Structure 1
Amino acid sequence: MAYILDKAFAVNKDVFTLAQKQPSITGYTRLETLPTAVSMKTGLQAPLADPLWLLARQWQFNEFQGEDAGTPLKLRFAVQGAPIDAFRSGTDVQPQPWQALDGVPLETRVEAEPVWATHPRLRGEAGLQLLRMSPPALRTALLQNYPLSLSAPTATEAAADQAGLLWSQLFDRRTVDASALRADLQPLLLDGVLTGVPAVLGNDAATQALLQTWLDWYDALVYEGAANNPAWQRERMEYAFALKSGNIALDAAEYTDGHLDWDDFIATTAPGDAAQVHTFSVAQRIPTPVRYPGMPAERYWEFEDGQVNFAGAEAGATDLARMCVTEFALSFGNDWFMAPVRLPVGALYRLENDAFEVVDSFGIPATVRPIQPLGQTPWQMYALRASPNLGNQLTGTLFLPDSLDGVQEGAVLEHTLLVRDEMANLAWAIEKTVQGVSGEPLDRDLEAKGLAFSQQIEFPTAADAQAVAPQLIYRLATPVPANWTPLLPTRKGLDFAAPLDIQLARAGMKRFYPDPVTLVADDPDYDKFLANLDAQTDFITPLAIAEDAHIKAYIFYPRGWLLRRDPNQPMDIHDTLLLEEEEVPRIGASLKRKFQYARSSDGRSWLWIGRSKLAGRGEAASGLRFDVAEKRKP
């Protein structure tokens, strides 16, 4: 029991008496939004009843109570950084040698693939640039010896490849094939400097200087990678590579979206010594409160700009991410401070001694250390994922990759969808666009209509009393568009005692047509159709059928670089593709090849062709059925 001196009980003699203090329990309650309901509209409306109620609500939110807390004014700390010193393509299963970094941005180095060989129009434009620079005599010699041959698309492709049709009329033998000229100049180069000129172009100093200027421009225009990029994993349609800093390797085994950041890497051990550490001292920084558009006001009863309607946020019982964001925005939005620090990219950083000193508005210094996880919780924010054998070596370490920002994407050169077809019990690779004769996109959906022929079966008329027209038509298989390629399930490995592991093998779709010589009536359109199939040797392969079968058979293959090693050559038996089954989920996948352009941190510009894989559009229905009996159309 406690006793206090209470002035309220004092008598006239100004003598204080002892008063017994009533026992009490002091509690503090913080009112916060409860983002577990579907809508927070009612809680955030806070309807007013009367002024007294408003004062009570202000008291309830502690707006009348001051806080004896200091505001951070100064920060002092030091950052230690270990630079990235090597790059390696591929995975640990098929390791490539470590290579020194040469200043090429990560996205460009990982994604880049051949460009000049796959884009004739770009070769013609590069040659046109040389023609603009050349005098008349040299221009004539270039067109005679290095003409660009750009054939027009076939009759079937013409409607689907309008760009190829136009560029073939404009560029065919009217400009210079830049790649052919570059190949002839290659033997004459010594450390990047021309030592001569091909004899067909003359051998004067002015021509050599002009070609040197053009060659420097040509080599800097596009960044090309290897023909068989080891970073591209065909069985997963993803990029895989690794970076190294001393004895620490940073593996990125599933890079797909076209932008690299620290969360794409997993740290593991690597052979070698520890990297040299550089220290960056920060003598003083002034922290500033974190602000973002639509941030709630610090005081509850204060008009806001309404850029963000938190009352319209809806969160179910399982929307944990949305509830966390709402909790941060409404309850703890004004508890964060920011102190920017400029550091070189391409290194692993951590605070020296894992701490920094804060001086508040009262002049009191305090040492701040990282938040420690409770219990055995392994999760940390902004922390690199690391293998257990690294221990605490990367605790509190942040990776700043030398990635690109603001990448501009060109038109999609190639687009392929990977989908599942539950009704046909198959998976399909659907080519939407591929590169045409000029390198520009070709619409395969439109082309597929020209590669299909609807056979009309003539039946006896009712006037012929001796014949009866059938009521049902039997079809061996229903037609599937030519741009749909089946992905057949196949067992991985030959160990039947091991657990079943399925891969999806890219196959070809067989199609059978009657031989024209067996038809009663000759159809010129049908003859043109078969002749067009025979002309498409790059992606349509005829099958050998016995002469007495009276059948012509073809296999339709894909014609893009995503599903083929070299679509400019006939299909080879060694050109196989086995996709891991989990890479074709129920939602599917969308694969794209496109030009990309960006500037790196040093101001240089980069142009390359890269690939990406994003979520698809869901399941698809091919309508493929076998042994179908259909009613005859009247």
Structure 2
Amino acid sequence: MALILKSDQRSVAPSAVGNWTALAAAGVAPPSVTGFTRLETQPTTIGLQQGLQAAVADPLWMLARQWQFNEFQGEDAGTPLSVSCTVTGNPVRQFRPGSKKDAQPWKMLPAGGAPIQARVEAEPVWRRHPRLRGEAGLQLLRRAGPALRNAVLQAYPLTLATPADPAADPAGLLWSSVLHGRTVDAQALASDLEPLRGADRRLTGLPASLSAMDGSALGILDTWLAWLDGLVFEGAADNPAWQGERFEYAFALGTGAVALEAAEYTDGHVDWEEFQAEPMVSRVRPRQTTFAVAQRHPSPVRYPGMPADRYWEFEDGRVNFAGAEAGATDLLRLSVSEFALTFGNDWFMLPVRLPVGALYAVTSFQVIDSFGVTSTPGAVADNAQTPWHMFTLTHPARLPGDLGNALFLPDSVEDVLHGAPLEHTLVVRDEMANLAWAIEKKVQGTSGEPLDRDQEARALAFQQQLDFAAGDPQVVYRLATPVPANWTPLLPVRRQGLQPGAPVDIHLERAGMKRFYPAPAALGRPDPAYSDFLDGLDAQPNFITPLPVADAVHVRAYVFHPRGHLLRQDPDRPMPDAERQWLEEEEVPRIGATLRRTFQYARSADGRSWLWVGRSKTAGRGEASSQLRFDVAVKAAARQ
């Protein structure tokens, strides 16, 4: 800030000088007009434009602006010219799916195995994707000769049934007409070939159904089976890493002395901030590797739009710091702006190439500056000894050795390609109905491709038109309004049950919507469309369960369940009575959540390609309204 004092006197005519002289003799001061001009920044304004502009007024203004930007402040510090350091790494050698409370055993990680995302997320693919099995079989048919082609088509034909609802599953209708009986079921053939492999994973013979083939068929099948092994990376059917009560993954990596816990992995991107370090007791001895870096020249940290080092330099126009708007209480934005403008050129970078999949700590660090002074700086920490660190893993207990300031470089893959969702489910709150819902938008159909559950729900919402006589009442009573078949209620229940004195701890339990329909015999007249509709409900036991009722002659009852893997353990069989699923209440916020199952493809650092099916959870779309109401009277013209 600069204060400039400036005095001005009005000009007067010469004839008035005598009068002023008389006044001065009488002890009266002559009149004058004095003005003060104050030039300063305005920190209470929103914009920084006026404070950062270099307005040229006079030399004193220029000197004051340079003083405000610490241009005249000497720090007696040299520029680092040479750096030597030593980095110690502890490679990750163990993997444990699930959280600590799941008590899953630790597994040794093979060298050159799958990346973290594929190992954590992968689940079975072949069983629920007939189209993929058929396309893998087509690869064999392209390699095989006429004799082998006819033999495998006769012994292992692909069976792909026509979907029950072609309007909701057009992909299933298409692929059933194209692939059914025209290609090979790759998994059925691979299951018969797997026991015939030797210790070197080479085929030693052919199954009985192909015993008539010659030796060339053995080589073709061996090459095709090796290709099939690397096509898709599969995991266990009951993936213990998936936490169904939170729709998240949990896993841990072990170095022999430190366990890296990742308790809330949801978005498909794994980096060091996902983990929390804890001491671990393991039978696997830690294996340390030392990397020495000698005489490396550091380079200043630069970023797009960085302010110039000196005040009177032309700056990059890609970032306009003067356009940043910050109020007097916006401390975070003010701190970032001050750091960039004042201390942005005090940082240097020293690249070090290290293998991924290890926990690293800097054990020695020496700097030689431009004055020839050698110094040994330490890790960044708060002087008040508070638990504040920068780029450091969170660790509640003291870690062995120098791992308290360690950094983890995970063996993850970047730029993962995601396919179209195989399953898409929304978890929402419905304040008007005082319920939470899981809304299935897409699930896998008969071919493994997505099925539109919204379209299917319309077909499952058959409405019977009632006939009213002239003297009948003009209102119809409904116990409850209908809800689409793809809406699954999540009922709030007490975790401890109805125990006196127990705390009210609520979680959400997956339920099913009950539907009641009049039996055809109760209608008084035949309705073929209505009878076909009820027969269609009975023909889909995997997600529609008939309920026994006392008056089965007049009423039929059904329960509609979800169809996808996100809300079921096994969608290919009827819902068992013992299968129950709970969800933590805080996992359904007011904004909701979006769940997806997709194919994911990526390449690891060694150039290998990986294809797997994984799940993700992202923010939802807000609240929803099911229009569910109870005890409703509607006009007689309405349908039920």
The correspondence of residues 174-189 of structure 1 with structure 2, limited to 5 A, is 174-189=182-197
Equivalent residues of 2:257, 2:400 under 8 A apart: no
Q: Distance in 1 between matches of 2:335 and 2:173?
A: 54
Cα drift, residue 586 of structure 1 = 2.1
Q: Secondary structure at the match of 2:421?
A: strand
Q: Secondary structure at the match of 2:589?
A: coil
- Corresponding residue for 1:609? 613
> Which residue of the other structure, out of 181, 195, 200, is the alignment partner of 1:173?
181
- Corresponding residue for 1:80? 88
Q: Distance in 2 between matches of 1:66 and 1:375?
A: 27
The correspondence of residues 547-586 of structure 1 with structure 2, limited to 5 A, is 547=551, 550-586=554-590
Q: 1:283 to 1:209 in 2, by over 3 A?
A: same
Cα drift, residue 430 of structure 1 = 0.8
- Corresponding residue for 1:218? 228
- Corresponding residue for 1:40? 47
Larger mean CA deviation between 91-100 and 308-317 belongs to: 308-317
- Corresponding residue for 1:542? 546
Aligned identity (percent) is: 59
Q: Distance in 2 between matches of 1:335 and 1:444?
A: 58
- Corresponding residue for 1:516? 520
- Corresponding residue for 1:10? none
The correspondence of residues 240-251 of structure 1 with structure 2, limited to 5 A, is 240-251=250-261
* Residue-pair matches, total: 592
The correspondence of residues 278-297 of structure 1 with structure 2, limited to 5 A, is 278-297=289-308
- Corresponding residue for 1:529? 533
Q: Deviations over 1:345-364 (max 9, x none)?
A: 111111114xx111222332
Question: Residue 343 in 1 paired to residue 354 in 2?
Answer: yes
- Corresponding residue for 1:625? 629
Cα drift, residue 222 of structure 1 = 0.6
The correspondence of residues 88-487 of structure 1 with structure 2, limited to 5 A, is 88-102=96-110, 103-154=113-164, 157-191=165-199, 192-201=201-210, 202-272=212-282, 275-314=286-325, 322-353=333-364, 356-388=365-397, 390=399, 394-460=403-469, 464=470, 467=471, 470=474, 472-487=475-490
Q: 1:172 to 1:53 in 2, by over 3 A?
A: farther
Q: 1:350 to 1:389 in 2, by over 3 A?
A: closer
Equivalent residues of 2:148, 2:213 under 8 A apart: no
Equivalent residues of 1:33, 1:327 under 8 A apart: no
Q: 1:330 to 1:152 in 2, by over 3 A?
A: farther
- Unpaired runs of 5+ residues, structure 1, are 1-30
Q: Deviations over 1:584-623 (max 9, x none)?
A: 2222211111111111122211111111112222221111
Q: Secondary structure at the match of 1:458?
A: coil
Q: Secondary structure at the match of 1:411?
A: coil
Equivalent residues of 2:307, 2:316 under 8 A apart: no
Q: Secondary structure at the match of 2:590?
A: coil
Question: Residue 59 in 1 paired to residue 63 in 2?
Answer: no
Equivalent residues of 1:384, 1:394 under 8 A apart: no
Q: Report the AA paired with residue 222 of structure 2.
A: Q
Cα drift, residue 502 of structure 1 = 1.7
Larger mean CA deviation between 497-506 and 341-350 belongs to: 497-506
Q: Distance in 2 between matches of 1:125 and 1:62?
A: 67
Q: Secondary structure at the match of 2:291?
A: strand
Equivalent residues of 1:164, 1:437 under 8 A apart: yes
Q: Report the AA paired with residue 388 of structure 1.
A: A
Q: 1:549 to 1:626 in 2, by over 3 A?
A: farther
Cα drift, residue 140 of structure 1 = 0.8
- Corresponding residue for 2:32? none
- Corresponding residue for 2:508? 504
- Corresponding residue for 2:11? none
> Which residue of the other structure, out of 486, 491, 497, is the alignment partner of 1:488?
491
Cα drift, residue 487 of structure 1 = 0.7
Q: Distance in 2 between matches of 1:633 and 1:49?
A: 82
Cα drift, residue 459 of structure 1 = 3.2
Q: Report the AA paired with residue 114 of structure 1.
A: P
Equivalent residues of 1:315, 1:322 under 8 A apart: yes
Cα drift, residue 276 of structure 1 = 3.0
Q: 1:308 to 1:574 in 2, by over 3 A?
A: farther
Q: Distance in 2 between matches of 1:238 and 1:525?
A: 44
Q: Report the AA paired with residue 352 of structure 1.
A: T
Q: 1:148 to 1:375 in 2, by over 3 A?
A: same
Q: Deviations over 1:47-82 (max 9, x none)?
A: 736455762454334586485542222111111111
Equivalent residues of 1:40, 1:310 under 8 A apart: no
Cα drift, residue 272 of structure 1 = 3.0
Equivalent residues of 2:381, 2:390 under 8 A apart: no
Q: Secondary structure at the match of 1:93?
A: helix
- Corresponding residue for 2:4? none
Q: Deviations over 1:505-549 (max 9, x none)?
A: 111111111112222443333233222222222111111122366
Q: Report the AA paired with residue 487 of structure 2.
A: W
Q: 1:320 to 1:442 in 2, by over 3 A?
A: farther
Q: Distance in 2 between matches of 1:290 and 1:625?
A: 62
TM-score normalised per structure 2: 0.87
Q: Report the AA paired with residue 577 of structure 1.
A: Q
Larger mean CA deviation between 42-51 and 483-492 belongs to: 42-51
Larger mean CA deviation between 64-73 and 232-241 belongs to: 64-73
Q: Distance in 2 between matches of 1:236 and 1:326?
A: 39
Q: Report the AA paired with residue 178 of structure 1.
A: A
Q: Distance in 2 between matches of 1:204 and 1:33?
A: 90
Q: 1:33 to 1:570 in 2, by over 3 A?
A: farther
Cα drift, residue 432 of structure 1 = 1.1
Larger mean CA deviation between 158-167 and 137-146 belongs to: 158-167
Equivalent residues of 2:97, 2:241 under 8 A apart: yes
Q: Distance in 2 between matches of 1:168 and 1:499?
A: 54
Q: Distance in 2 between matches of 1:490 and 1:169?
A: 47
Q: Distance in 2 between matches of 1:215 and 1:357?
A: 55
Equivalent residues of 1:105, 1:404 under 8 A apart: yes
Cα drift, residue 162 of structure 1 = 1.8
Equivalent residues of 1:188, 1:197 under 8 A apart: yes
- Unpaired runs of 5+ residues, structure 2, are 1-39
Q: Secondary structure at the match of 2:598?
A: strand
Q: Secondary structure at the match of 1:121?
A: helix
Q: 1:212 to 1:64 in 2, by over 3 A?
A: closer
Equivalent residues of 2:361, 2:402 under 8 A apart: no
Q: 1:370 to 1:45 in 2, by over 3 A?
A: closer
Q: Report the AA paired with residue 91 of structure 1.
A: S
Equivalent residues of 1:84, 1:244 under 8 A apart: yes
Q: Distance in 1 between matches of 2:300 and 2:41?
A: 21
Q: Distance in 1 between matches of 2:341 and 2:134?
A: 58
Cα drift, residue 625 of structure 1 = 0.9
Q: Report the AA paired with residue 167 of structure 1.
A: W
Q: Distance in 1 between matches of 2:82 and 2:239?
A: 49
Q: 1:96 to 1:63 in 2, by over 3 A?
A: closer
Cα drift, residue 489 of structure 1 = 1.4
